[in-house]
Amino acid sequence: MTSDHAASVPGDHAADVDRHVRIYITVFVTLMVLTVITVAISYLHLSTPVAVAVALFVATVKGSLVAAYFMHLVSEKKLIYAVLLLTIVFFIVLMALPVVTHSNGYWIHE
């Protein structure tokens, strides 16, 4: 089926792609640096709550870069954002509620 709304017509937008390639390389270098940082910090043997917070923060930054640039989320359409937002809400419910349920009155190894 032909149409003028091709998602990706190869050969077109070459300059556009070039710009993106530069971004990919930048993101790659950033990810490498962040990986080194997160491993280095782990050698500091910070207290568990702090270590968790820092590690998760760095991981979130790295993950966001992959999502935003490699997965093109920065320039995605509203529908995709909507699906992801819904997913994140339920993801948080899934992560939080079982743990909260437990800290509120269940037996736990003392």
User: Counting contacts by CB under 8 A, is residue 47 touching another protein?
Assistant: no
What character string, x for contact with another protein (CB under 8 A) and - otherwise, covers 70-109?
Answer: xx-----x-xx--xx-xxx-xx-xxx-xxxxxxxxxxxxx
Whether the CB-CB separation of 41 and 54 falls below 8 Å is answered with: yes
- Between 6 and 74, name the residue whose CB sits nearer to another protein: 6
Whether the CB-CB separation of 65 and 30 falls below 8 Å is answered with: yes
CA 30 to chain centroid, in Å, comes to 14
d(CA 96, CA 56): 15
d(CA 62, CA 101): 30
Q: Which of 7, 33, 47, 74 binds another protein (CB under 8 A)?
A: 7
d(CA 61, CA 95): 19
Q: Under the rule (CB under 8 A), what is the footprint of another protein?
A: 1-14, 17, 20-21, 24-25, 27-28, 31-32, 35, 38-39, 42, 45, 48, 51-52, 55-56, 58-59, 62-63, 66-67, 70-71, 77, 79-80, 83-84, 86-88, 90-91, 93-95, 97-109
